[in-house]
Amino acid sequence: MRFSVRLMAALVGVTAAVALVFAYFQAKAQTRALQNELESRAQALGATLQDRVEALLDAADPAALQSYLVQVENRDSLYGIIVYNDLGTELATTPSLSAALKRLPLAVTRAISENGGRGEFIRPGQAPLYLYALPLHHGPSVTGALGMFYDASYIDAGAARLWRTAFWTLLVEIFLIVLITFLFIRWSFAGTIGRMTLWMKQWRRGVTYAAPPLPDDDLFKPLAEEVRHITTMLAAARAAAEEEARLRQSAESLWTPERLRVHVQSKLQERPLFVVSNREPYMHVRNGKSVQAVVPASGLVTALEPVLLACDGTWIAHGAGDADRETVGPGDHLRVPPDNPHYTLRRVWLSSEENQGYYFGFANEGLWPLCHIAHTRPIFRSSDWEAYQEVNRKFARAAIAEMEGTDGPVVLVQDYHFALLPCLIKAERPDARVAIFWHIPWPNPQSFGICPWQRELLDGLLGADLIGFHIQAHCNYFLETVDQALESRIDWDRFVVNRRGHRTHVRRFPISVDPAELTAASGPVKSPPVDRVALLKEHGVDAVFMGVGVDRIDYTKGIPERLRGVERFLEKHPDYQGRFTFIQVAAPSRSEIPRYRDLTAEVEAEASRINTRFATPRWKPIVYLQRLHTHAEIARYYRAANLCMVTSLHDGMNLVAKEFVASRDDERGVLILSRFAGAAAELRDALIVNPYDTEQLAEAIRAALEMTPEEEATRMRAMHRVVTDHNIYRWAANLIAELTEIRAEEPQPVSAASNIAAGN
Ligand code: F6P
């Protein structure tokens, strides 16, 4: 039996049973009430007749008695009246009853023998009657009985009426239940299941155009989630297979997660991979009563997550979420991503003093402005330096504990938060292969030289076997800094530093993104277009052209400069007023640092000043979205935009530039890119700008909006190829290959480490 019929039958059965039971009790109650009412009526009448009848009997006047009975029968709507003697013989009877009774009713006998009024329902013929008998007296003795008969058929008729009504009501209910169930199943279930089935069929057949949205009802949510995962995995597997096939055919060297996995396995030979970074890939944060896993706004996380997903391993990071502690298992481990675990996250806990001194203080008020030439003065406090050393030691202990039992572990340390870590790890585990990747720029030696602890930092870094930077200029500056600050031998041909018997290779590894992550489609199928006008309308703006900027709120990103560029553009080209809107997606960042708070206020003020200057009731030049956005949310803006602006004053790489390019598999959109971002070395088909030059920014916006579709496509295609070929998998493959191919050297005592470890 079909589900719907079974459901309807069950509903109808239950409803009918309930209705019948209810009608039965209702009919019973109504009959009982009518009977009681009839009995009372009879008793009252009996009491008024009794004396008169007794008197007529005593008078022995049968004619008068007969006439009285007929009169009462008519007056009180009785069916009939009979007067009995004490033997039950009829003495007087109204005509309607004369032939009706074949035998003496029990109530009469009982009224005489028990000397009291008695009632009884009888059915002498077709019609039901109610008889009320009461004794007649002569003096104290009972001489007979008076029987009053009522037509009781109206009581049965009432019950029958009630049953009829119940029946018709039930019929209507059944009809409505069947109808509603049918429509509900058709609209809610059949429609939903049909859509899901169709969607899955499409995926199975490889028709991967934009899938209809899955329902989010509570009932379907878990199923929908699972289906979503399966289709995502299917899409990834299919894309990988297609890519592999394409690779085989064209002998191209496209790097995919599968290829990286195989590559890493062959390079690591069963050894697990260890990654250390300050920022964790998943932060658990409290949201009301629930706990949410949040992906922080971090280029580093964006870049490294695909590598860990491809290779498994352990990622050691600071547990900074307010619900992080309650979501880890033994050893402060948890498997992530939460909905599809592929690797282990080991959280390290820091006190707020440690975090203040190490992260906000030394790393972000000291090293960050030291390495970024963005005209914010570094602040060096010795207390911050103490905390920085202590936290590096803490992470070193955690990493060493994780590596226990692994021979020749391979460790990828990330960024300026851990300059001392390579040396600390090597001191304990000389067999480890340690690389550190410096995600931010390395400044010229004069700039770096103002750091009071530059020698310690350089020694810490030189504990590594390999140091990676995004671009060659940063490698050069690093070697020059080492040359000027430390006693060492530098092999400029091979870019190797020899210090205290240890060799450190310095290489350029331009980091990238996973383009497949940023396109909604897979394989050769394009992502579905995003309706720009509709997207702008969501923000209450009527416009046809749109620009986008996506940044952490950081003074290195040149956000105020960019907004002033937009302002100048609208000033110079007023015909774009009312037609062009710039959406700035801004993730709050490091807001405990005064410089960042000032910047946040400055950006808000600039956006509102420019809006006040140009806005009309239905349009404004700047939509400022200040909150953490998911990758999926950001991808929508990328795909809808005519142009993306990356105007960093100084940037190691800037993955927003590459994300924008990767997301534009439609070969549309123009990238306006700062010449001071590392990405400018690779994305040469962007419109390269100096973010300090407001006129140039304004001109670049105009050029982007007025570029011919052919030129736009040519430029975007070229950049897309760069990002696709030089994707994050290639970055990781090169880094790991370089690290594992470095010739192992005799373990040397790393004297600098003992200083760092001792906190000197
Ligand atoms: O570029 C350095 C970096 O670590 C990036 O990975 C990232 O964009 C940013 O800094 C993250 O900053 P934080 O972890 O301080 O929020």
Say which residue the tokens 């995995």 belong to.
233
Q: How far apart are CA 434 and CA 460, in angstroms?
A: 12
Q: Are residues 524 and 388 in the same domain?
A: no
In a domain, 216, yes or no: no
Question: Does residue 644 contact residue 548 with C-beta atoms inside 8 Å?
Answer: yes
Distance 359 CA to ligand 1 centre (A): 11
Domain boundary pick from 485, 511, 537? 511
Atom 9 in ligand 1: which residue has the minimum CA distance?
298
- Of 279, 676, 728, best ligand 1 pocket probe by most atoms within 8 Å of the beta carbon: 279
Contact at 8 Å (CB) between 581 and 541?
yes
Within-domain flag for 347: yes
Quickly list H helices, 627-708: 631-640, 655-663, 694-706
Structure confidence at residue 250 (pLDDT)? 45
Question: What confidence score (pLDDT) does residue 522 get?
Answer: 43
Question: What residue has token string 């990758």?
Answer: 631
Same domain for 505 and 523: no
Q: How far is CA 110 from CA 114, 138, 194, 714, in A?
A: 5, 18, 75, 115
Whether the pLDDT of residue 688 is over 80: the answer is: yes
pLDDT in tens, 469-505: 999 999 999 999 999 999 999 999 999 999 999 999 9
Ligand 1 pocket test, pick from 300, 301, 364, 553 with the greatest ligand atom count within 8 Å of Cβ, gives 300
Which strand ranges, in their side-by-side order, compose the sheet holding 333-336? 333-336, 343-348, 314-318, 273-277, 410-414, 433-437, 466-469, 502-508, 496-499, 489-491
* Full residue range of the structural domain in which residue 453 is found: 266-300+312-511
pLDDT value, residue 276? 98
Of the candidates 380, 664, 359, which has an alpha carbon nearest to the alpha carbon of residue 518? 664
Number of the ligand 1 atom closest to the C-alpha atom of 359: 15
Give the Å distance between the CA of 367 and the centre of ligand 1.
12
CA of 593 to the centre of ligand 1 (A): 15
Please give the Cα distance from 472 to 111 (Å, whole number): 124
Does one domain contain both 496 and 544?
no
Please provide the average confidence, as pLDDT, over all residues in the chain: 90
Give the model's confidence band at 694: pLDDT under 50 very low, under 70 low, under 90 confident, else very high.
very high
How many folded domains does the chain comprise? Answer: 3
The stretch 94-99 carries a mean pLDDT of 76
- Top-confidence residue, 232 or 689: 689
What phi, psi does 257 have (nearest 5°)? -55, -40
Residues 507 and 519 grouped into a single domain: no
The CATH number covering residue 658 comes to: 3.40.50.2000
Q: Worst-scoring range by mean pLDDT, 19-23, 44-48, 59-63, 184-188? A: 184-188
**What separation in Å is there between the alpha carbon of 653 and the centre of ligand 1?**
11
**Domain termination site, one of 511, 536, 569:** 511
Mean pLDDT of 731-741: 93
Q: Crossing angle for the helix pair 382-403 and 421-428, nearest 10 degrees?
A: 40
Nearest-10 crossing angle of helices 257-268, 221-250: 70
Query: What pLDDT sits at residue 244?
Result: 63
Confidence of residue 95 (pLDDT cuts 50, 70, 90): confident
**Inside any domain, residue 116:** yes
Low-confidence winner among 21-35, 174-188, 238-252, 310-324 (lowest mean pLDDT):
238-252
CA 693–ligand 1 middle distance (angstroms): 26
Residue 759 is assigned to a structural domain of this protein: no
Q: How far is CA 132 from CA 45, 111, 284, 303, 444, in A?
A: 10, 9, 84, 99, 121
Residues 497, 523: one domain? Answer: no
Q: Which atom of ligand 1 is nearest to the CA of 415?
A: 4
Cα(436) to centroid of ligand 1, in Å? 15
224 within a domain of the structure (yes/no): no
Last residue of a domain, which of 475, 494, 511?
Answer: 511
Residue nearest to atom 6 of ligand 1 (CA): 300
- pLDDT surpasses 50 at 288: yes
Contact (Cβ atoms closer than 8 angstroms) between residue 606 and residue 668: no
Residues 428, 342 share a domain? yes
69 touches 83 (CB < 8 A): yes
Measured by CA distance, the residue closest to atom 15 of ligand 1 is 590
Residue 523 lies in a domain: yes
> Do 432 and 578 sit in the same domain of this protein?
no
How far is the centre of ligand 1, averaged over its atoms, from the C-alpha of 440 (Å)? 9
Confidence at residue 523, expressed as pLDDT on a 0 to 100 scale: 47
Q: How many CB atoms lie within 10 A of CB 199?
A: 18
Query: 298 C-alpha vs ligand 1 centroid, how far in Å?
Result: 5
Q: Are residues 507 and 585 in the same domain?
A: no
Structural domain includes residue 231: no
Q: How many helices (H) and strands (E) does the chain have?
A: 25, 23
**What's the average model confidence in pLDDT over 25-44?**
92
Q: Which is it for strands 466-469 and 502-508: parallel, antiparallel or unpaired?
A: parallel
What is the atom index within ligand 1 of the atom nearest the CA of 414? 4
Pocket lined around ligand 1, Cβ cut-off 6 Å: 278-279, 298-300, 415, 439-440, 589-590, 652
> Of all atoms in ligand 1, which is nearest to the CA of residue 277?
4
Higher per-residue pLDDT: 31 or 222: 31
Cα distances (Å, whole numbers) of residue 104 to 58, 121, 133, 137: 23, 13, 11, 19
Total residue length of the chain: 760
**Residue 255 Cα to ligand 1 middle (Å):** 25
* Atom in ligand 1 nearest the alpha carbon of residue 364: 15
Residues 6+ apart with CB under 8 A from 75: none
Could you tell me the distance, in angstroms and rounded to a whole number, from the CA of residue 300 to the centre of ligand 1?
6
**Is 375 in the same domain as 444?**
yes
Q: Whose CA is nearest to atom 11 of ligand 1?
A: 298
The residues, any chain, with a CB within 8 Å of residue 559's CB and separated by 6 or more, are: 549, 551, 553, 584, 586, 599, 603, 647
525: left (phi over 0), alpha (psi -120 to 50) or beta: beta
Probe residue for ligand 1, chosen from 277, 294, 295, 298 as the CB with the greatest number of ligand atoms within 8 Å = 298
Cα-to-centroid distance, 364 and ligand 1 (Å)? 10
Bridge partners (DSSP) of residue 436 are 413, 467
* pLDDT given for residue 307 in this prediction: 83
CA of 628 to the centre of ligand 1 (A): 14
Output b/e per residue, 143-155; b: 16+ Cβ within 10 A: bbbbbbbbbbeeb
195-248 confidence digits (pLDDT tens): 777 777 766 766 655 555 655 566 677 777 776 667 666 666 666 666 566 555
Pairing of strands 502-508, 496-499: antiparallel
Whether cis (ω within 30° of 0) applies to the bond prior to 337 is: yes
581 and 506 in a common domain: no
Can you name the residues that pair with 134 across neighbouring β-strands? 146
416, containing H or E segment: none
478 and 618 together in one domain: no
In a domain, 233, yes or no: no
Orientation of helix 421-428 relative to helix 454-461, angle to 10°: 50
What pLDDT score was predicted for residue 197?
76
Q: Best substitution site from 295, 370, 439 to test ligand 1's pocket, by max atoms within 8 Å of Cβ?
A: 439
Proportion of the chain above pLDDT 70, given as a percent? 90
Q: Convert the pLDDT of each residue in 718-728 to its tens digit.
A: 999 999 999 99
Average confidence (pLDDT) over 339-363: 97
Give residue-wise pLDDT tens across range 671-682: 999 999 999 999
Could you report the per-residue pLDDT of 626-662, keeping only the tens digit for each? 999 998 999 999 999 999 999 999 999 999 999 999 9
Which atom of ligand 1 is least distant from the CA of 363? 15
**Amino acid identity for residue 164 in this structure:** R
Both tokens of residue 140?
């104290």
For residues 23 and 144, membership in a common domain is answered with: yes
